[in-house]
């Protein structure tokens, strides 16, 4: 783990040497800031269990981590650094983004209902910023809308946000300053407030991630910030399959999955093998008697959702956005469709000029997932990732819920692919073909609509056709 935790027990001098007390704005003029922990690894970090205060089951952030804090009197203090970061989208591709404390998204903030939190925000971006605490109930002046509720945080400045956590639930943070640029560049993070009562809605494993998207041309590193809808990298926590962590779960565990949407469109999140109950929204907990069963839950832009299930069925269960283009990477929106087109003569002609030329797409796109073709620098295949039976033919917003027997409660290591019991895997039929009755095809009745050849087209003097 590459987080620096030095100074979180007491006050620090190292961070204060970098940021002078005069740069701290707000009610609290504090001589010593908590050190800003930094994380560089793109791998999921272990949960951060509380050492003081109320007990709770900490969350695990896909490809992320929880921000350490220090206690200063009765205030729980955190330090966020808004800064340019380099994020690995998946092995083979990196993006130059903006984020917090070394990563995009920034670290998850965890606290408890009733806590008084003091969050220092230092701006190391090339322009001003703010932070909005999405869904929190707090004083208006702490809401983080630049120009409306506070001055912007200037370059090199540190501001302080102070508020008491009024309710438990699932929240997030993001800028409300030049947000078209800053959110498109990856500035966002998760904020979880645990119930004051440790037994309230307790689960064994609690996963969190944010849905975000980027438009990054092959060979480039910086997202296009003016893109409105045509994104080509659909991500969970700024990662695309096969770079997204798996959800590792012990058989019998009660599991919660929380997610928030900061893309430009909605996402129907579907999990295989289970039905689950929607138990939380960005507005709060759903009453247990009112929780409704689903296998797919839609999350609109700016919304958050949480669902829970009992992990009773072992296996490797897919979880993904059900918009088919959102489980793809690096899509070209101008690619022609050649399904059904015979390209053999074309391949022969072009092959004389470019030996080894291959034409693809006449029978579908699956062959692109199976072939490891050369790619431009710094991009990903449209369909990528392999499992025990071959190419998975997915990208983007896709991962796997791995339910296994005998896992320790704190074990989140990848257990490998599921060992299916004998006789439980779909298989090829190799028996006599005559045993397969040819289906009887019922002829369709004529629609009564004339074909083009049957239409008598008459062109009047005015040049318009009439039938």
Please give the chain's pLDDT, 467 residues, in tens: 444 433 333 333 333 333 332 344 444 455 589 999 999 899 999 999 998 889 999 999 999 999 999 999 999 999 999 999 999 999 999 999 999 999 999 999 999 999 999 999 999 999 999 999 999 999 999 999 999 999 999 999 999 999 999 999 999 999 999 999 999 999 999 999 999 999 999 999 999 999 999 999 999 999 999 988 888 899 999 999 999 999 999 999 999 999 999 999 999 999 999 999 999 998 999 999 999 999 999 999 999 999 999 999 999 999 999 999 999 887 655 556 555 667 677 667 777 777 765 666 555 555 554 455 566 888 888 777 899 999 998 999 999 999 999 999 999 999 999 999 999 999 998 888 877 777 778 888 887 777 665 556 555 565 554 44
Task: Give me the pLDDT at residue 16, please.
Answer: 31
Q: Please name which of 13, 118, 108, 8 lies closest in space to residue 52, comparing C-alpha atoms.
A: 8
Give me the long-range contacts of 321-326 (CB less than 8 A, separation at least 24): 321/211, 321/234, 321/267, 321/268, 321/269, 321/270, 321/396, 321/397, 321/398, 322/268, 322/269, 322/270, 322/296, 323/265, 323/267, 323/268, 325/234, 326/234, 326/267, 326/396, 326/397
- Record the pTM: 0.83
Q: Which two tokens stand for residue 334?
A: 């101008």
Residues facing 451 on adjacent strands? none
> 218, 378 in Cβ contact below 8 A?
yes
**CA atoms of 208 and 191, how far apart (whole Å):** 10
> 188, 80 in Cβ contact below 8 A?
no
Give the CA diameter of the chain.
92
Main-chain phi, psi angles of 296, to 5 degrees: -140, 130
Domains belonging to the chain, first-starting first, are 14-245 (2.60.40.420)
Task: Give me the pLDDT at residue 19, please.
Answer: 34
Q: Please name which of 206, 249, 254 lies closest in space to residue 57, comparing C-alpha atoms.
A: 206
**CA atoms of 273 and 317, how far apart (whole Å):** 6
> 89, 240 in Cβ contact below 8 A?
yes
Q: Checking DSSP bridges between strand 169-174 and strand 132-134, what pairing results, if any?
A: antiparallel
Task: Give me the pLDDT at residue 349, please.
Answer: 75
**CA atoms of 92 and 380, how far apart (whole Å):** 7
Q: Which two tokens stand for residue 93?
A: 């591709």
> 98, 212 in Cβ contact below 8 A?
no
Task: Give me the pLDDT at residue 3, please.
Answer: 47
Q: Is 20 helix (H, G, I), strand (E, B) or coil?
A: coil
Q: Is 3 helix (H, G, I), strand (E, B) or coil?
A: coil
**CA atoms of 156 and 19, how far apart (whole Å):** 8
Helix (H) or strand (E) holding 366: helix 366-370
Query: Can you tell me which residue has the tokens 């040049």?
Result: 463
Task: Give me the pLDDT at residue 438, please.
Answer: 74
Helical H runs in 158-281? Answer: 179-184
Q: Is 179 helix (H, G, I), strand (E, B) or coil?
A: helix
**CA atoms of 435 and 155, how far apart (whole Å):** 75
Task: Give me the pLDDT at residue 447, please.
Answer: 76
Helix%, strand%, coil% for the chain, nearest 5: 10, 35, 60
Q: For residue 171, how many C-alpha atoms fall within 13 Å in the half-sphere facing its CB?
A: 25
Question: CB under 8 Å to 189, separation ≥6 — which residues?
Answer: 80, 100, 105, 106, 107, 108, 109, 172, 173, 174, 210
Helix (H) or strand (E) holding 353: helix 344-353
The beta strand positions in 44-186, using DSSP E, are 60-61, 70-72, 75-90, 93-100, 109-112, 116-123, 132-134, 158-164, 169-174
> 404, 415 in Cβ contact below 8 A?
yes
> 146, 152 in Cβ contact below 8 A?
yes
Residues facing 362 on adjacent strands? 364
**CA atoms of 373 and 388, how far apart (whole Å):** 20
Task: Give me the pLDDT at residue 332, please.
Answer: 58
């Amino acid at each position: 783990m590459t987080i620096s935790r030095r100074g979180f027990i007491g006050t620090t001098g190292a961070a204060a040497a970098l940021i002078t007390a005069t740069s701290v704005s707000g009610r609290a003029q504090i001589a010593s800031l908590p050190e800003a922990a930094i994380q560089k690894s793109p791998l999921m970090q272990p949960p951060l269990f509380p050492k003081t205060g109320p007990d709770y089951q900490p969350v695990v952030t896909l490809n992320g981590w929880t921000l350490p804090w220090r206690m200063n009197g009765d205030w729980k203090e955190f330090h966020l650094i808004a800064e340019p970061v380099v994020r690995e989208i998946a092995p083979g591709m990196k993006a130059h983004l903006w984020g917090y404390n070394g990563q995009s998204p920034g670290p998850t903030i965890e606290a408890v209902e009733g806590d008084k939190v003091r969050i220092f925000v230092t701006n190391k971006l090339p322009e001003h910023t703010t932070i909005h605490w999405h869904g929190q109930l707090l004083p208006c002046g702490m809401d983080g809308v630049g120009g409306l509720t506070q001055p912007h945080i200037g370059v090199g400045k540190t501001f302080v946000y102070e508020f008491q956590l009024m309710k438990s639930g699932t929240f997030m943070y993001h800028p409300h300053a030049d947000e078209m640029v800053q959110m498109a560049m990856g500035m966002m993070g998760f904020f979880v407030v645990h119930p004051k009562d440790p037994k309230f809605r307790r689960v064994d494993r609690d996963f969190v991630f944010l849905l975000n998207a980027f438009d990054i041309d092959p060979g480039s590193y910086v997202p296009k910030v003016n893109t409105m809808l045509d994104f080509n990298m659909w991500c969970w926590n700024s990662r695309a399959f096969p770079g997204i962590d798996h959800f590792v779960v012990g058989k019998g565990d009660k599991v919660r999955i929380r997610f928030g949407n900061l893309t430009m469109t909605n996402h129907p999140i579907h999990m295989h093998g289970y039905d689950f109950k929607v138990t939380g929204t960005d507005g709060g907990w759903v009453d247990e008697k009112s929780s409704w069963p689903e296998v797919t839950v839609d999350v609109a832009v700016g919304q958050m959702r949480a669902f829970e299930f009992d992990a009773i069925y072992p296996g490797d269960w897919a979880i993904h956005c059900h918009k088919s283009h959102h489980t793809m990477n690096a899509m070209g929106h101008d690619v022609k469709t050649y399904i059904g087109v015979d390209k053999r003569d074309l391949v022969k002609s072009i092959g004389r000029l470019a030996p080894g030329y291959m034409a693809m797409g006449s029978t579908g796109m699956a062959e692109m997932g199976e072939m490891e073709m050369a790619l431009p620098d710094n991009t990903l295949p449209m369909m990528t990732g392999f499992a025990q039976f071959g190419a998975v033919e997915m990208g983007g917003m896709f991962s796997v819920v791995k339910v296994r027997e005998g896992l320790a409660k704190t074990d989140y290591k990848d257990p490998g692919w599921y060992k299916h019991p004998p006789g439980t895997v779909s298989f090829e039929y190799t028996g006599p073909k005559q045993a397969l009755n040819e289906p009887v095809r019922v002829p369709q009745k004529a629609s009564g609509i004339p074909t083009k050849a049957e239409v008598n087209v008459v062109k009047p003097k005015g040049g318009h056709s009439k039938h």
